[in-house]
A and B are shown apart, each in its own frame.
Chain A
Amino acid sequence: MTSARVRHASAFALALGSGLTAATAHAREPDQRRWAVGLEVVWLGVPHGHLGFVPSLGTSAICGELVGRYQLSSFAAVDAGFGLPHSAMGLSGWSAFEVFGTAVSNRRRTLVLELYQQTGLQLGYAGPDYFARHDNEFVGYGYTTAGPLSFALRFPAGVNLRWGGGYLDIYSEVVPIIALTPASEVLFTLATGIRSRF
């Protein structure tokens, strides 16, 4: 039964990842799959942001970004992302150093629950919400990909579940972002992502 479930999950992972990636991954033990790429959905931003899908007016938009991870050791990794890291910030890229630890796992380590914390730098556009927050103005969505730059520190912390035979990560995290430019301010958001490991 367990074996059948694992095979099913593996097939799902293969469908998500590229053929080459999956073929390579087959040959590795779960802990040896150091690389991971995926998608992250960013939601429940505070302060409210307007970039992305707005489920209803007055709530923060849901946005997302591409993410990647490289596992350096049994407790450290580097992460990167590109997209909208918060619905109230413009297009940005970030990179972070991550420490993680296993909370619980099965013997083959194909099912692992990890806790992690990242410390990173983020650089991107302040975005049109910056002007809405600070100047009470709508300046246009063009400021999503242009305009003043925002340099920020980010300290996400969350929980990651390695599953699907060790091919997939699904994680959820709370992301405090301390923007230093163009103005000092603190933003929070939740993020949930899925990554394919190879």
Chain B
Amino acid sequence: MAQTSAFLLLCAGLCACSIDDPNPIPPPGASSPVDRLSQLGIFEGDLGLQTPRNDFFGYEVNVSLYSDGASKVRFVHVPEGSALHATEDRWAVPTGSYLVKTFFYPRDARDPSLGRRLLETRFLVKQTNGYAYSTYVWNDEQTDAVASGGNLDLSVSWIDANGIEHDGDYHVPGLTLCDSCHRGRALGLRNRQMARGEAGAADDQIAQLVAAGVLDEAPEIREPLVDPFGSAPLDDRARSYLDANCAHCHARDGSAASTKLYWAREATDAAGLPRCRSTATVDGRDRVLVPGRPRESEFLARMTSSDPFVRMPRGPSRVPDGAGLAVLSEWVRAMPGGCP
């Protein structure tokens, strides 16, 4: 009898603990959370077109974090009377700001007229004690999105720019994972990511943000990240990729600080690289980076590991980033040396 009671007590205790519940947010300036994206009122007209109202400002980053090939559109809103402030690199975000990011796949990247499949719209809402994380998952009709706790799969089918068909699931990560990378920070709002376009020209994103009153003043820009798949020198492209995809955790203030592997651009110059450093063995590789030998470099093995606990970037991605891997492999191959 006592045994049965104890077992039932255990059942009751365990069942009471949930995770990744939806975290609906209120519209800007309001206090009551709403369950549907349409109720937030931040997009005008057809929601699927993602046309923001005039106090939400669209922006782009130089290097987007790889998310199983999904594309993203981004918007920022700051409360009236306040503005973003650029520090040496990471930007300060005033309380009440909304950072919005919608993930999507083009139906066929070769033909934009075929439209896109919207997947989820994520929110970071700045509060006095950090960020509130939320996501709204789009319905099949693409007419609206509903607040979700994440950790669910959406069946997707799309064709990339090379004409390759992709069929599978897009994974919406659980909200509990948000803070493991963000840790109270916005990852994209950094000088090196936001400095786009030619300074002083019409496409100068920083100048646009200042003109719109979203950013208080233009910062001094040093070494913006470059397109990893563009025409910049290989070293710049590889280090930009690592900065955008790895350094949010692999930094002194990141969740992977204990590894003492730092992948921010300034940490991956010739002097800072973890050449030949011993590490836990992954698929037979026990050195983080072996110059000249990408196939012996553990950090590259992690990008293709079949073990989700080992695979990098850690998170919801299932499909290795082949293009990123190619750039990094080429970068390692070009390094002289080897390991003793």
Contact with A along B160-185 (1 / 0, CB 8 A): 00000000000101101100100000
> Nearest Cβ distance between residue A189 and chain B, in whole angstroms?
17
**Quick check: is A106 within 8 A (CB to CB) of the other chain?**
no
Q: CB distance A135 to B153 under 8 Å?
A: yes
> Nearest Cβ distance between residue A148 and chain B, in whole angstroms?
9
**Quick check: is B196 within 8 A (CB to CB) of the other chain?**
no
Nearest B residue to A58, CB-CB? B281
- Count B interface residues, CB 8 Å: 33
CA A21 – CA B14 in complex, angstroms? 30
Instruction: Classify the secondary structure of B's interface with A.
Output: loop
Contact of B10 among A56, A93, A131, A143 (CB under 8 A): A93
Contact of A140 among B11, B176, B306 (CB under 8 A): B176
Q: CB distance B10 to A137 under 8 Å?
A: no
**Quick check: is B201 within 8 A (CB to CB) of the other chain?**
no
CB neighbours (8 Å) of B19 from chain A are 142-143, 146-147
**Quick check: is A196 within 8 A (CB to CB) of the other chain?**
no
CA A138 – CA B7 in complex, angstroms? 30
CA A30 – CA B20 in complex, angstroms? 50
Q: CB distance A56 to B281 under 8 Å?
A: yes
**Quick check: is A95 within 8 A (CB to CB) of the other chain?**
yes
Smallest CB-CB A-B distances: 9 pairs: A146-B19, A138-B308, A142-B176, A132-B308, A93-B10, A50-B309, A57-B280, A140-B177, A146-B17
A-B contact pairs, 24 of them (CB 8 A): A48-B307, A56-B281, A57-B280, A58-B307, A78-B3, A80-B3, A93-B7, A95-B3, A121-B7, A123-B7, A123-B10, A123-B14, A125-B14, A132-B307, A132-B308, A135-B171, A136-B318, A138-B309, A138-B311, A138-B315, A139-B174, A140-B177, A140-B180, A147-B19
Query: Which residues of A line the B interface, CB within 8 A?
Result: 48, 50, 54, 56-58, 78, 80, 93, 95, 121, 123-125, 128-129, 131-132, 135-140, 142-143, 145-147, 149
